[in-house]
Amino acid sequence: MSRIGKRPVELPSGVSASVSGQTVEVKGPKGARSFTATDDVTLAVEENTVTVTPRGSSKRAKQQWGMSRTMVQNLVTGVSDGFKKELEINGVGYRAQMQGNVLKLSLGLSHEVNFEVPAGVTVTTPKQTEIVVEGSDEQLVGQVAANIREWRKPEPYKGKGIKYKDEYIFRKEGKKK
pLDDT digits (tens, 9 = 90+) for 44-99: 998 899 999 999 888 999 889 999 999 999 999 999 999 999 999 999 999 999 99
Asked whether the predicted pLDDT for residue 1 surpasses 70, the reply is: no
Distance CA 133, CA 122 (A): 6
Alpha helices in 114-176 (DSSP H): 138-150
Strand partners for 86: 132
Q: What is the C-alpha R_g of the chain?
A: 21
User: Is 73 strand, coil or helix?
Assistant: helix
- Quote the pTM value: 0.86
Q: Using one digit for the tens of pLDDT, what is the confidence trace for 117-160?
A: 999 999 999 999 999 999 999 999 999 999 999 999 999 999 89
What domains, with CATH codes, occur in the chain?
9-80 (3.90.930.12), 83-164 (3.90.930.12)
